[in-house]
Structure 1
Amino acid sequence: MTDEELMEEFVKANNSFLPSVYKEIVKKENGNLLVSPLSAQTILALTFSGCRGETAEELRIAVHFPDDPAKIQSAVKAVLSNLKTKEGCKLCIANKMYVTKGVPLQNEFQEIVKEVYFADSENIDFTKKVEAAEIMNSWVEKETENKISNLIDSRLLNELTRIVLINTLYFKGDWKDKFHLAHTKKMNFYKTPNETVEVDAMSNKRIEFFSICISEELNAKVLKLPIHGDASMMFVLPNERDGLAELENKIDKVFSSCEFSEELVSIFLPKFKIEYQIDFKAVLENLGVQAMFSEEDADLSGIAGEKGELLVDAVLQKTFIDVSEEGVEAAAATFAVIRIPMSGYATPPVPFIADHPFIFYIKVDDVVIFAGRVTEPHY
C-alpha cells in the first residue's frame, strides 16, 4: 500500500476510535474534557504489536485497527513520519520504552519499537519507585515543553513492574488569522440556560470569510479555524444553549466530515485552558478489552516471555490545551505499565457566538490529534 492509502487506514481507525472513547468518558464526566486519540492510538498500537491471540484481537477491535498487524505497523509509521515533517506548526511526537534490566525482549518487538515508533529504550530500576517515576516524568516534561507533569505516580510502580511504554504529543500552532488582543471582551457564558459565568471572549472585529457548516442533522454550527501547517481547529456549537447532550448523542457524526462553505462570520469564542487525566484502562475494559489486564488470559509473549508472564497493569493519559488569541498549544502523554502477574446554507454574516457548551477538535492532515468539550471556560 502507498503511504497515502496507509494514512487513510489510520484516519479511518482514528475517526471510529474517538467517538467510542468520547462516549465512555462522558458517562462519568460532566465538566470540561480533553483527550488525544492519536496519543492513545500510538501507545496502544505499540502494545498491540507485542500481544498475541485473544489479547491482540480484543485490543485490535476496540481501537478499530485493520485485521493485519503488518498493515497497522506500516500505517502508524506512515502517520508518525508524515506528522513529524509538518512545517508551519510545532508538532512533536515522541515514544519511549523503559525496561527492567535483564528482561529478555523479543528481537522483533525491539525492532518495531525502534523502526516504527522511532523510540529509544532505557534500562531502569522500578524497585526504586520514586527515582524511576522522577526519571520518566522528567522525560515527559521535556518532550511536552513542561505542559504535562507528574504523569506517572510512583505508587503504580513496584518490584513486579517490567516495562513502561510512553507516548508524548506536543502541538503548538498559530491561527492563520489571529485574534487581536484589543478585541477580546467580557461575555456571559451559559453553563446552563439559567446559569452564567463571565469569560474572556476573542472576537474578529473585522468580519471575514471562514469555513462554516450549518448542520441540520447535528442541529449545530461547525466553525473551522485554520492553523498554520495543514492544521485546523473545529468548534461544534449546538444551536440551543442546552443542546450539548443532544449533540453528544450523535457523537459518531460530530467528528466526521462536514459540508463547509465560505461565509462571512462574526466570531465570539471564549479563551480556555483545560488540564485533564483519563484512566484509559477503565475505558478500554468498557470497550471489551479484558484479556490484556487479566493474570489468567494476558498474552504479551510478543514482547517477552511466554503467555501469562506479562500483563498490562495501567493505561493513563494526561492532556493540556491552551486556546488564546495567538493560537493553540496542546500536549498529551499516554503510558502503559506492563508487569508480571501476582498470581447547510446561511446568509452572511453568520454569527458564531460560543456562549454555551460546545465540542472542539484539532486535525492535522485529517488525523484528529485532540478532541474535547468546554462546559465552563477557564483561563
Structure 2
Amino acid sequence: MYFVLQRCRCERKMKILLLLQLFISLILAAGPCKPNQGRSYNLFWECLVAEVSESQMDFALRVYQHISAPTMRPPPNLLISPISIYTTFSMLALGARSRTHKEILIALGLEDTVTDEELHDANRKLLQVLSQPANDMEFKDHKEVFIDESAKILPEYKQNMAQYYNASISTINFNNPENTEKTIFKLVSDRADNKKQNMVFLDYASFQGKWQSEFHKENTEKRNFMLNEEKTKIVPTMHQQGMYKTYKDTEVECDVVEVPYVGNISLLVIVPKLGDIDRVGQTLTPQRIKNYFSFMKTSMLDLYLPKVSFDHLFSLKYIMSLMGMESLFSSEDADFSGISKDGKIQLADIYHQSSTNIEELEAVASGVTDTRVYYNLNLNSNPELKADRPFLMLIYHKVTQTILWIGRVKDPSLAGIPGEEEGTNVKRQI
C-alpha cells in the first residue's frame, strides 16, 4: 500500500517510505472488554484482541464492498488485503491527533471501545500469531520506514512503531534520487510515481502456501468460462477429485467450497448465479462467512477451478473519504503532529497493491519417497462444483477467523496491472 503525503511550509522535500508485510489474526467475540469485570490479565487481553479482531473483519468487508461497487467502475478482477490496510491505518493513528485521529478510529470501527494503547498492543499480539513459522506455508512480515534526513521525527513515534509493529525508521537523503532508488526500490517493485510526491508510505503483504490436496497439471484443461449470458471465453481450468467441504447458500443463491492449504489457511470460493456476483458480494457479512465454515458438509467432489493470475495497484483515497476519513486529505484539517511537529504533514493519497496466482503447485524435487493415495472413481458419479462463471474468493485463516485477502474474478483470462487495462478506473482520484 502506497501512502503519498505532502509536507507543507517547507521548501525542501521530505519523503517517507514504509515497507510492510502484515498478517493479522481475527477472533470474533461479542461485547466490550473491561478489565474491572473480574477477568484475569490473560483473559482480558484475549477479549481485547477479539474485540479488535471483530472490527477488522467488519472493516475488511466494508472496504471490499465500497471498492467493488459498480458505481466505482472497478476492474473485472479485483483483490485487496484488508488486513494490511487496517494495520497501516492503525500505524497512521499512532501519529494522528484530534479530528484526524477520531476519523481513523471510526472507520476502523473502534471509536470509544478501546484505548490507543489497547489497539496497538492488540495488533502486536495478533501479528505475532501469524508470524509464527509453519511447514509448507510462508508469511513474510517485514516493515521498514525510510525518512528524509532533514525531518525531525518525534522519538515517541519511533519508539511506538518499533514496540507495536516492529518497524524501524531509517534516515535517507531524498534529494539524491539515484541513491534513494538503490536503497529503497531494491526491496520492492514500485509502480507509483513517487518522484512527484513529498512523503510516501508503502505497504506490501504476501502469502505463499501449498495445497492440502494438490492440483496436478495433467488434469488441467481448457474449459468454457461464462463472462455473461452472451459471452464465453476458453480458459485453463484445474480439476481435482477429492473430499471437499461445501455449502449451498439458498438465501443469496450461491455455492461455496473450501479449498484448503496445508495448515490453517483456506481459499474460500463463492460461486453465485451468472450475473449475480455484485449483489452477492454486497451481502457478505462476518456472520455469513462464519456460517459457511460452521455448516459446511464434507463429500466427494469434482472441483473445477480456473487458473488465475493478476496484479492490482489502485488509489484508496476516494474510498477512505466515503468511509469518513475526510480530514486525512485536507491541507487545513489533517493533524499528524504525533509524527513530526516540524511542519504540517498532509496525506495526499493512498495506493494499495495486491497480487494473486492460483495454479497447480508442484512438489520440490528431492530424494524422499512420496506415497500418495489417489481416488479412482467414476467421475460421473460425483457431484460437481464448477467455478465456470464470475466468482468471489477469500484467503482465510480458519482458527482465528481472519480474512487475509478478498477479491473476485470476472475474467480469468485477464492478467497484469488493472490500471493499465483500457476502461478501468483503478487510479480514481489520483
* Corresponding residue of 1:23: 65
Contact 2:205 2:354 in 1 (8 A): no
* Corresponding residue of 1:370: 405
* Corresponding residue of 2:336: 300
Unaligned 5+ runs, structure 1: 141-148, 328-347
Supply the AA of the counterpart residue of 1:302: G
**Structure number with larger C-alpha Rg:** 2
Rate the CA distance shift 1:261–1:232 in 2: closer, same or farther, 3 A: same
Contact 1:93 1:168 in 2 (8 A): no
Cα deviation per residue 1:155-175 (whole Å; 9 max; x = unaligned)? 3424xx3xx333321210001
Rate the CA distance shift 1:305–1:86 in 2: closer, same or farther, 3 A: same
Rate the CA distance shift 1:13–1:151 in 2: closer, same or farther, 3 A: farther
**Alpha-carbon distance in 1 for matches of 2:408, 2:181:** 30
Query: For residues 251-270 of structure 1, what are the structure 2 equivalents within 5 Å?
Result: 251-252=284-285, 255-258=289-292, 259-270=295-306
Q: Percent identity?
A: 22
**TM-score, normalized by length of structure 2?**
0.75
Rate the CA distance shift 1:129–1:20 in 2: closer, same or farther, 3 A: farther
* Corresponding residue of 1:143: none
* Corresponding residue of 1:351: 384
**Alpha-carbon distance in 2 for matches of 1:278, 1:251:** 23
Kindly tell me the number of residue pairs found equivalent between the two proteins. Answer: 343
**Alpha-carbon distance in 2 for matches of 1:10, 1:358:** 29
Cα deviation per residue 1:230-266 (whole Å; 9 max; x = unaligned)? 111100111x222212212313366444121212221
Of the three residues 166, 170, 188, the one matched with 1:118 is 166
Supply the AA of the counterpart residue of 2:93: F
Question: 1:19 aligns to what SS in structure 2?
Answer: helix
* Corresponding residue of 1:177: 213
* Corresponding residue of 1:40: 85
Cα deviation per residue 1:144-201 (whole Å; 9 max; x = unaligned)? xxxxx2244233424xx3xx33332121000100011111111100011220000111
* Residues 1:360 and 2:393 aligned together: yes
Unaligned 5+ runs, structure 2: 1-40, 363-380, 416-430
Of the three residues 214, 233, 248, the one matched with 1:214 is 248
Of the three residues 192, 195, 208, the one matched with 2:228 is 192
Supply the AA of the counterpart residue of 2:80: V
**Alpha-carbon distance in 2 for matches of 1:7, 1:264:** 37
**Alpha-carbon distance in 2 for matches of 1:294, 1:281:** 12
**TM-score, normalized by length of structure 1?**
0.84
Query: For residues 1-379 of structure 1, what are the structure 2 equivalents within 5 Å?
Result: 2=42, 4-26=46-68, 27-65=72-110, 66-88=113-135, 89-129=137-177, 131-133=179-181, 135-140=183-188, 149-158=189-198, 161=199, 164-204=200-240, 206=241, 208-238=242-272, 240-252=273-285, 255-258=289-292, 259-305=295-341, 309-326=344-361, 349-364=382-397, 365-378=400-413
Contact 2:203 2:352 in 1 (8 A): no
**Alpha-carbon distance in 2 for matches of 1:256, 1:132:** 45
Rate the CA distance shift 1:277–1:242 in 2: closer, same or farther, 3 A: same
Q: Report the Cα offset of residue 30 of structure 1.
A: 4.2
Contact 1:221 1:236 in 2 (8 A): yes
**Alpha-carbon distance in 2 for matches of 1:194, 1:227:** 35
Higher strand share: 1
**Alpha-carbon distance in 1 for matches of 2:394, 2:249:** 17
Rate the CA distance shift 1:312–1:251 in 2: closer, same or farther, 3 A: same
Contact 1:173 1:227 in 2 (8 A): yes
Rate the CA distance shift 1:133–1:13 in 2: closer, same or farther, 3 A: farther
Question: 2:266 aligns to what SS in structure 1?
Answer: strand
Q: RMSD between aligned alpha carbons? A: 2.1
Contact 1:151 1:318 in 2 (8 A): no
